[in-house]
């Protein structure tokens, strides 16, 4: 089979699940056991899972920091976990860290377990790796609790998002069928419990049709009743609108509508004001940029002039130093002349002539 150009060709790796990934996991800060939200969520889920499966041993494939493992241990299950993220395992709570190991969901699983859980994991794997992971889990247990989001595409690590029906079909190909008597909505609306039937008790087509039809019929009746109720509500609203009944409820709805329209107008006015401010700010920024360019040009001119003045000052200082050296040399010569014997003798010889004058 030829891969399409849009199919992923590389899977995610351990580095994709570091601090940034768990920092605000699903809108809740600090994805760890010490966060009240997550601890209460997993303790509640573990109690339901224990009551539903009566598992004594379990393995959580894709355990992350081991929160489900820790919760299952607290309700008496000998639980273990494996995850590809070295960061997640290293950051696990001290009470559960020795029950976790770093590994891939595609690796063979040592031993057998009463229950294997795989919660929001396979959407992170390449399709071929996901199928291999299903093989590994099915070889190590007869009961699998499985969830994989059918529609969360925003997470960049979700490279294999599929409808729940496709996952359930993959398990059915391996002899694992949905337990329609098990409601796992406490984990996720799309969570399923699949179980392997003994070789001598494989479900017949009639058994499977009965299981799914029983669940479908209940849901179908619920949907039809809600549709009828919605239709009656719509008709009642239309009747009130046509009759123009001035009931308290209608008045309340009209007042609410007027309030919403007023708020909508205020939002429009605020938008117009904001757009005007943005345009004004943009014009101001353009003016400032022009002034900044002119200032930069003047700064270049000023620097050139300053450099010229510095060169002239340096030349002037050089000339002053030369004149000083010459003056100093003249002073030294004069002093030497005054101190010399020739000068004193000349002075003596010229005195008579000076007196005769």
- Residue 258 dihedral angles phi and psi, to the nearest 5°: -60, -40
The tokens of 198 are what?
Answer: 């003994």
Top CATH class, 16-201: alpha beta
Neighbours of 63 (CB within 10 A): 28
Average pLDDT of the residues in 331-336 = 83
User: How many angstroms separate the Cα of 33 from the Cα of each of 30, 64, 94, 147?
Assistant: 9, 12, 10, 21
| pLDDT score, position 55 | 97
DSSP string, 209-258: HHHHHHHHHHHHHHHHHHHHHHHHHHHHHHHHHHHT---HHHHHHHHHHH
Q: Packing angle between helix 341-349 and helix 248-339, nearest 10 degrees?
A: 60
List, for residues 145-181, the tens digit of each pLDDT value.
999 999 877 788 888 899 999 999 999 999 999 998 8
Q: 156, 149 in Cβ contact below 8 A?
A: no
Q: 147, 191 in Cβ contact below 8 A?
A: yes
Q: Is 89 exposed, middle or buried (0-12, 13-18, 19+ CB in 10 A)?
A: buried
The answer, yes or no, to whether residue 129 has pLDDT greater than 90, is: yes
The answer, yes or no, to whether residue 207 has pLDDT greater than 50, is: yes
Nearest Cα to 90, choosing from 69, 74, 66?
66
Residue 334's pLDDT band, with cuts at 50, 70 and 90, is confident
Q: Which residues, including other chains, have CB under 8 Å from residue 80's CB and lie 6 or more apart?
A: 57, 58, 59, 60, 69, 99, 100, 101, 113
Length of the chain: 357
The answer, yes or no, to whether residue 1 has pLDDT greater than 50, is: no
The dihedral over CA atoms of 124, 126, 132, 138, expressed in degrees to the nearest 10, equals 30
The residue that leads in pLDDT, 349 or 43, is 43
The residue that leads in pLDDT, 124 or 197, is 124
List, for residues 278-288, the tens digit of each pLDDT value.
676 677 678 77
List, for residues 187-198, the tens digit of each pLDDT value.
999 999 999 987
The structural domains of the chain, with segments of one domain joined by +, span 16-201, 204-245
| Beta pairing, strands 143-147 & 192-196 | antiparallel
CA 339 to chain centre: 94
List, for residues 310-328, the tens digit of each pLDDT value.
888 888 888 899 998 888 8
| pLDDT score, position 2 | 32
What share of the chain in percent tops pLDDT 90? 41
Is the whole-model pTM more than 0.75? no
Rounded CA-CA distance 345/174 in Å is 135
User: How many angstroms separate the Cα of 205 from the Cα of each of 173, 202, 214, 263?
Assistant: 14, 10, 14, 58
| pLDDT score, position 79 | 97
What share of the chain in percent tops pLDDT 70? 73
């Amino acid at each position: 089979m030829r891969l399409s150009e849009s199919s992923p060709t590389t899977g995610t790796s351990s580095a994709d699940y570091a601090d940034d990934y768990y920092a605000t996991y699903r809108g809740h800060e600090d994805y760890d056991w010490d966060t009240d939200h997550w601890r209460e969520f997993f303790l509640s889920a573990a109690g339901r899972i224990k009551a539903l499966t009566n598992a004594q041993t379990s393995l959580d494939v894709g355990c992350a920091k081991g929160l489900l493992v820790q919760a299952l241990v607290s309700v008496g299950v000998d639980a273990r976990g494996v995850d590809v993220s070295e960061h997640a395992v290293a950051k696990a709570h001290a009470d559960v860290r020795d029950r976790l190991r770093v590994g891939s969901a595609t690796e063979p699983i040592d031993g057998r377990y009463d229950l294997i859980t795989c919660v929001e994991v396979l959407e992170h794997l390449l399709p071929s790796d996901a199928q291999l992971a299903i093989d590994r889990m099915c070889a190590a247990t007869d009961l699998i609790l499985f969830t994989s989001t059918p529609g969360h595409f925003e997470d960049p690590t979700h490279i294999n998002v599929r409808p729940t029906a496709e996952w359930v079909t993959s398990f059915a190909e391996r002899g694992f069928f949905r337990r329609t008597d098990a409601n796992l909505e406490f984990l996720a609306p799309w969570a399923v419990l699949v179980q392997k039937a003994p070789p001598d008790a494989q479900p017949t087509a009639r058994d499977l049709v009965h299981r799914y039809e029983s669940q479908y019929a209940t849901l179908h009746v619920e949907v039809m009743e809600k549709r009828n109720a919605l239709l009656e509500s719509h008709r009642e609203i239309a009747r009130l609108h046509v009759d123009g009944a001035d009931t308290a409820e209608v008045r309340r709805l009209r007042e609410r509508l007027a309030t919403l329209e007023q708020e909508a107008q205020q939002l429009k006015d605020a938008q117009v004001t904001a757009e005007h401010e943005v345009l004004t700010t943009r014009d101001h920024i353009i003016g400032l940029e022009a002034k900044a360019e002119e200032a930069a040009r003047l700064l270049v001119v000023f620097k050139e002039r300053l450099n010229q003045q510095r060169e002239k000052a340096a030349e002037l200082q050089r000339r002053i130093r030369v004149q000083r050296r010459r003056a100093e040399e003249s002073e030294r010569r004069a002093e030497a002349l005054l101190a010399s014997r020739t000068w004193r003798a000349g002075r003596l010889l010229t005195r008579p002539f000076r007196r005769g004058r």
